[in-house]
């Protein structure tokens, strides 16, 4: 483990500050040691793969960055008739993985032969292109949780959807984990057809994407019913730069924000992303959300105050949005949990033990993001209050998860638990 490491050279945007602590583990035990160190020292953790889908603040990351490039477990292809099972480490480059599978005569990875980043990052965001996605081939994923415990998840439990997965959901909820390896299923194909697809996709990328300029690929998620690049183009922002910055909407593909010459700061890129989103919203009423992960603190981040409270003590008058979480199971009725709060691990484990909890929390995050997006400036100070009966158990748990999700989405979040120290009767 090292300290004060500049991160810009580890990202495809070629900008960003220093990591307070930095490590490149090569096996699961080293990951477990890293996670224990972070937990013992109360450090935030950011897992960095190929650095192809993130924007790291110029102020750096005040925690531990775990770079997974060392998890380059060999790609193994086990054939079984017309299909094959492929296993690989999460730190392997996605392009290397895709090309090796294709060269072995198996179809299914052609879409990925031009996507930068690592296997772990590709699973995290369910990377895709030209009609193919990781969910078409991935069957199992190995990961280690924040307590250093290995897990394996597969099938529908991976929750692979458009640029999301169970791991993206876990990150939004503030959970710490490191993806370590994957298993995929592919089918035998015609080599000429496989190579033809790869060459076709390569030609399309070269013709339409700014591959020679630092970027993080597609900058914005595709809004339902629209294409981000077309909305940006129709807003008149092709080639747009803010205040002469080297950060620019690519003249070649409006869905890409690029860093010309690697001269723009992360703040320059962030400001442009926000400005483009605001301008598109102003013209079309559609709020573009970043596909790139926003890591660390940036000037001008939208301010959100998240507050837990108890309905028995009254709703906060300052709240712009109020959630009632009393439909969740109440830990109050478990005697040994009654004296605890939603910050305590036994309460967290209790509420996480119910299938409906995860979807409920995801709904809180989405509804809050939607409410903020509808504001004219998409920013400003916004206060959301999360209430249960006494403001001690469920509201605290949900407020913490909501705050983590908003922070992961690029908001500056301040959390307060108004009634946590009051009488915890009724939870």
Do residues 173 and 401 touch, judged by C-beta distance below 8 A?
Answer: yes
Given 30, 49, 68, which residue is the final one in a domain?
Answer: 68
192 and 213 both lie in a single domain: no
Question: Active-site positions?
Answer: 163, 218, 291
Q: Which of 32, 50, 68 is the last residue of a domain?
A: 68
Q: How confident is the model at residue 127 (pLDDT cuts 50, 70, 90)?
A: very high
* Residue ranges of E strands in 147-204: 150-154, 177-188
Whether residues 393 and 370 fall in one domain? yes
The first and second tokens of residue 417, run together, are 């638990």
Do residue 387 and residue 327 come from a single domain? yes
Question: Could you tell me if 412 and 307 lie in one domain?
Answer: yes
pLDDT at residue 383, as a whole number: 96
pLDDT for position 34: 98
Residues 181, 120 share a domain: yes
Token digits of residue 136: 């078409």
Is residue 421 pLDDT above 90, yes or no? no
**Nearest CA to 23 among 70, 55, 93?**
70
Is 410 a residue whose pLDDT tops 90?
no
Q: Final residue of a domain: which of 29, 49, 68?
A: 68
Number of domains in the chain: 4
**Backbone region of residue 422 per phi and psi (left: phi > 0; alpha: psi in -120 to 50; beta: other values):** beta
- For the record, the structure tokens of 205 come out as 């990328």
Domain presence at residue 426: no
Tell me how far apart the alpha carbons of residues 81 and 414 are, in angstroms, rounded to a whole number.
56
- Tens-place pLDDT, residues 176-209: 999 999 999 999 999 999 999 999 999 999 999 9
Q: What is the dihedral of CA 196, 198, 203, 204, to 10 degrees?
A: 110
* pLDDT of 427 strictly over 80: no
> What is the CATH classification number for the domain harbouring 22?
3.30.43.10
Selection from 317, 316, 322, 350 nearest residue 427 by Cα? 350
Give the N- to C-terminal CA distance of the chain in Å, as an integer.
Answer: 42
Let me know: does 187 contact 105? Beta carbons within 8 Å.
no
User: Is 94 within 8 Å of 179 (Cβ atoms)?
Assistant: no
Is the pLDDT at 134 greater than 70? The verdict is: yes
Do the domain assignments include residue 251? yes
This prediction has a pTM of 0.88
């Amino acid at each position: 483990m090292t300290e004060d490491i500049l991160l810009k050279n580890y990202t495809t945007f070629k900008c960003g500050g220093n990591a307070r602590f930095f490590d490149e583990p090569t096996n699961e035990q080293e990951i477990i040691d890293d996670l224990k160190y972070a937990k013992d020292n109360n450090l935030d953790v950011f897992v960095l793969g190929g650095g192809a889908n993130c924007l790291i603040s110029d102020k750096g990351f005040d925690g531990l960055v775990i770079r997974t490039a060392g998890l380059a477990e060999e790609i193994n292809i086990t054939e079984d008739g017309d299909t094959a099972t492929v296993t690989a480490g999460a730190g392997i480059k996605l392009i290397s993985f895709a090309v090796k599978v294709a060269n072995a005569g198996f179809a299914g990875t052609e879409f990925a032969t031009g996507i930068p980043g690592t296997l772990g990052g590709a699973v995290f965001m369910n990377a895709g292109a030209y009609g193919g996605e990781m969910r078409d081939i991935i069957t199992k994923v190995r990961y280690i949780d924040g307590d250093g415990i290995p897990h394996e998840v597969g099938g529908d439990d991976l929750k692979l959807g458009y640029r999301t997965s169970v791991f993206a959901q876990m990150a939004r909820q503030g959970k710490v984990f490191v993806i370590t390896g994957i298993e995929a299923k592919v089918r035998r194909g015609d080599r000429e057809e496989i190579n033809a697809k790869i060459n076709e996709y390569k030609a399309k990328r070269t013709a339409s994407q700014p591959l020679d300029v630092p970027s993080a690929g597609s900058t914005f998620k595709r809004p339902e019913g629209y294409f981000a690049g077309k909305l940006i183009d129709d807003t008149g922002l092709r080639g747009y730069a803010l205040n002469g910055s080297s950060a620019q909407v690519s003249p070649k593909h409006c869905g890409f924000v690029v860093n010309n010459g690697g001269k723009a700061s992360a703040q320059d890129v962030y400001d442009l992303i926000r400005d483009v989103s605001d301008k598109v919203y102003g013209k079309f009423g559609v709020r573009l959300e970043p596909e790139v992960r926003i890591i660390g603190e940036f000037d001008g981040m939208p301010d959100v105050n998240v507050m837990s409270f108890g309905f028995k003590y009254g709703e906060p008058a300052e709240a712009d949005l109020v959630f009632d979480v009393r439909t969740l199971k109440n830990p109050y009725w478990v005697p040994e949990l009654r004296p605890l709060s939603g910050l305590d691990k036994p309460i967290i484990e209790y509420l996480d033990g119910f299938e409906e909890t995860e979807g409920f929390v995801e709904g809180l995050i989405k509804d809050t993001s939607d409410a903020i997006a509808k504001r004219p400036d998409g920013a400003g100070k916004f206060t959301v209050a999360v209430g249960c009966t006494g403001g001690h158990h469920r509201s605290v748990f949900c407020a913490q998860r909501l705050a983590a999700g908003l922070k992961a989405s690029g908001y500056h979040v301040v959390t307060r638990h108004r009634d946590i120290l009051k009488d915890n009767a009724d939870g």
